[in-house]
A and B are shown apart, each in its own frame.
Chain A
Amino acid sequence: MLRYLFKRFCTMILTLFGVSILVFFMVHLIPGDPVTYILGDFATNEAIAKLRSEMGLDQSMVSQYLSFVSGVMQGNLGTSYITGQSVWEEIAQRFPITLKLGIISLLIGSCIGILLGVISSVNQNTWADYLVSIVSLLGVSAPGFWIALFFIYVFSFQLAIFPISGYAGWHSLILPSLTLGLGSVGNIARMTRSNMLEVLKQDYMRTALAKGTRYWKVIFGHGLKNAFIPVITLIGITFGNLLAGAIVTETVFGLPGMGSFTVESIVKRDIYTVQGLVMFLGMMFILTNLLVDLIYKWIDPRITLE
């Protein structure tokens, strides 16, 4: 176990290095000089040169990269030159909203998805099964932003139950989480269904029923528990995708989270913020994957993590 963790940790560091190179060069390839963007078209050459040296842009790419990486290793993601705040502070303000949004959506998506998957697997080839299949396929095929607009039209414009845009506590998170969560229901339901179908054929299921254990206890206790591992993988991947989906959802609902902030920073060419944000999101995604692997081990002790 320790050996595995050590190995995982090493490859993680390697991947993060790769990510940092990718992020750094991508950001520095962005056309347009950020300095002229900040100072405007009428800046004097001296002012431009001064700001360039203050931002370290006059140094070579390699030394700029090294200072970026050493900063990241010391927990310093750089400073936004538009707001003047450190990128960490910006993230600290916005990440809680995105995290709340992600977790609630994940709960909505997993609960509904798993439930639908179980229902359709125990009713294989009945109308309930077909209905779930159609609903899941529609969920996979519908663009999140369109579902968001649909919810806004019905619940905010017509019924006026929820705010149209902005963040004012939990209330504002309901529609966005529903939008984001429903988007992942389809995949989770499909995965649960196909794994449950495998498990339902197993001998231990028949044995459990034969010895008189209650039906739903067999389905959930014996069945779902064994069908769960691939579903966990999917839920882990889904969480990463939810963070990306948050980009669109937060923009539609005007939530001041990480996603809308990323789009804003790209549009404003706030390169250090983009660099720090993408680096941070990459780290989150990699950590989630590690967490998912560890959860496997916890759920199914037969799995050897090597």
Chain B
Amino acid sequence: MKGENIMLVSVGIDKKIPSRSYWRLVWGSLLKNKGAVAGLIFLVLIIGMTVFAPILATHPVETMFFENRFEKPSSVHLFGTDEFGRDIFSRLLIGGQISLMTGLLSVAIAGSIGTVLGLIAGYFRRLDLIITQFVDILLAFPALLLAIAIIAVLGVGLPNAMIAVAIAIIPSYVRVVRGAVLSIKEKEYVEAARALGVRDAKIISKHIFPNILSPVIVLSTLQIGNSILIAAELSFLGLGAQPPSPEWGAMIFVGRSFLANAWWMSLFPGLAIIITVLAFNLLGDGLRDALDPRVKK
């Protein structure tokens, strides 16, 4: 299997097979990385659990049962109950949908805007200075501070928190993509395309974009975890998702007030965040090793 691929690549008979086998090679070396496999398994489990949350949830998420307030973790309530007698395990499952969506959406927004800005900055020298200067200004603030400042303008709430997180991580995309474009721009095939009179838009989309995908994929995987963390932090400060919501950061925000007597209210949402972010980080690291030929051997 592997021998075949290598032979085809080295002989280069067919143009399509090498490009397909590139991703197969990447997949193969990803599967050899124990951490990445662990991350992948965790992610499949987490995503599966949140997708099927309505079926898996053992108790209703919003109904209050005052007679069951502050129950310790038991076989009935796996992770205990909160101040309104709601089952924490069920709330975690439903809340996972919110936390994961927040991470995915902010990365999707930041990734598309940041990649386009990075492509433009790297390719067109004239626009480079303006975009780089703009990014430098955004980078003058740590991501969390920037997100908080944006929320001050947009107002408190989950959708605004999502936008704030997205804006806060745009600079990382611009930097990575711009750097990659600058090196690819000098490659012979780009020069050849330019010499043939191919339009800039086509050079960027057909010749440059496919070659910057790997760093963007790695960055996105790592940033999903990061976004979930920042969003949870915002909710914990009371600036993101608001308390009745089972978003994980918001659950810890509530749990904090009952820390002395009901530790399980803060413990389990925190563990959920850690496991999810850890899974994305493991997969991102594995992808980086698999996609970066320098690290391979």
Contacts and interface: CB of A to CB of B under 8 A. Distances in A.
Interface string A277-298: 0100110011000000000000
B137 interface: yes
Interface string A239-262: 011011101100110000000001
A137 B145 contact: no
A145 B263 CA distance: 14
Given A149-B259, A278-B149, A19 B144 contact: no
A22 B145 CA distance: 13
Nearest to A145: B236
A124 B237 CA distance: 40
A27 B263 CA distance: 38
A18 B135 CA distance: 10
B136 A143 contact: no
B259 A18 contact: no
Given A26-B152, A248-B236, A137 B281 contact: yes
Nearest to A286: B140
B168 to A, nearest CB: 10
Interface stretch (B186-194, B211-219, B270-278): B270-278
Contact of B142 (A31, A243, A274): A243
Contacts of B263: 153
A245 B149 contact: no
A140 interface: yes
Contacts of B282: 137
Contacts of A262: 145, 148
A152 interface: yes
Contact of B233 (A18, A243, A248, A274): A248
B150 A281 contact: no
A146 B152 contact: no
A18 B236 contact: no
B256 interface: yes
Contact of A15 (B137, B148, B149, B278): B137
A251 B278 contact: no
Interface string B89-118: 000000000000000000000000000000
Contacts of A303: none
Interface residues of B, number: 41
Contacts of A278: 141, 145, 149
Given A137-B278, A146-B273, A285 B148 contact: no
B133 A18 contact: yes
B140 A143 contact: no
A145 B140 contact: no
Given A30-B152, A263-B148, A141 B140 contact: no
Contacts of A145: 233, 236, 252
Contacts of A286: 140
A113 interface: no
Contacts of B35: 133, 137
B229 interface: yes
Interface string B29-50: 0000001000000000000000
B227 interface: no
B225 interface: yes
Given A15-B136, A278-B145, A142 B274 contact: yes
5 contacts: A26-B150, A263-B239, A266-B149, A274-B149, A282-B141
Given A143-B236, A149-B270, A241-B144, 8 more contacts: A18-B136, A22-B137, A143-B233, A146-B273, A157-B259, A241-B143, A243-B142, A285-B140
The 3 closest A-B pairs by CB, nearest first: A244-B142, A146-B270, A18-B137
